[in-house]
Amino acid sequence: MASRITDVPEEWEVTATATPFQGNKTGVRTDDVVMPDGTVARRDYQTHPGSVAVVALDDQDRVLVLSQYRHPVREKLWEIPAGLLDVPGENPLHAAQRELYEEAHVKAEDWRVLVDVYTTPGGSDEAVRIFLAQELSEADGERFAVSEEEADMELARVPLAELVRGALAGELHNNCLVVGALSLSAALAGSGGLGALRPAGTPWPARPFEG
């Protein structure tokens, strides 16, 4: 029987650090890191506050997705609702509920943690918690006023099986959508089903939060 594997915290010595760029939300850090053989290597990486994303699954096994222009890749991508953790220590569940409301004007009664990932750990410290949201309904009140790229968003509800097919066919590329769809498909096929998923308030060492 194969042994269980798990990631473990570890921090190598940093002899010097600098921040050559700091933007509104993200920055670039340069660290001189001591390698196991004693040499020192310079590592540049993006600093990021962290993000949340939501796989919102309705009672017809459709996932709520949106199409949004992403300038760095020069494509309009199908994505799931997602956003930054704007406040240090912010509860990721509250942030996810906010993003689902702002981007789709939808609320959900049932929330679980689907999966936690580092998006590009070789070049960024961004951590994303992807939630599964169920028992969907339209949110109360007026729709959130969107602007910039979000003003051109298109919303749709797509069968989970079609998202999985599109991801494996190389037709869908947004990391949160691909990871979320494949993780949900795997969870549904597992022996414990969705009941085996972690509670929405599960601690998240990558981005600790209170309450």
**Type of residue numbered 82:** A
Average pLDDT over residues 36-53: 97
Q: Is residue 207 one of the residues assigned to a domain?
A: no
Q: Is residue 178 one of the residues assigned to a domain?
A: yes
Q: Is residue 89 one of the residues assigned to a domain?
A: yes
- Decide if pLDDT at 148 tops 70: no
Q: Are both 37 and 139 inside the same structural domain?
A: no
Q: Are both 75 and 134 inside the same structural domain?
A: yes
Average pLDDT over residues 85-111: 94
Asked if 100 and 80 touch (Cβ cutoff 8 Å), the reply is no
Residue 11 annotated to the active site: no
Q: What is the CATH number of the domain that holds 77?
A: 3.90.79.10
Q: Are both 23 and 89 inside the same structural domain?
A: no
- Decide if pLDDT at 51 tops 90: yes
Domain count within the chain = 2
The pLDDT confidence band at residue 151, using thresholds 50, 70 and 90, is: low
Q: Is residue 171 one of the residues assigned to a domain?
A: yes
Q: Give the model's pLDDT for residue 144.
A: 58
Q: Are both 183 and 136 inside the same structural domain?
A: yes
Q: Is residue 1 one of the residues assigned to a domain?
A: no
Catalogue the E-assigned strands of the chain: 14-22, 27-34, 40-47, 51-56, 62-70, 75-79, 82-84, 106-118, 127-138, 154-159, 198-199
Q: Are both 175 and 131 inside the same structural domain?
A: yes
Q: Are both 72 and 169 inside the same structural domain?
A: yes
Q: Are both 18 and 86 inside the same structural domain?
A: no
Q: Are both 35 and 90 inside the same structural domain?
A: no
Average pLDDT over residues 156-167: 98
Mean per-residue pLDDT of the chain: 93
Active-site position among 150, 154, 162, 210: 150
- Decide if pLDDT at 146 tops 70: no
Residue with tokens 């910039």: 148
Average pLDDT over residues 81-88: 91
Q: Give the model's pLDDT for residue 43.
A: 97
- Decide if pLDDT at 147 tops 80: no
Range(s) of the domain holding residue 97: 51-199
Global model pTM greater than 0.75: yes
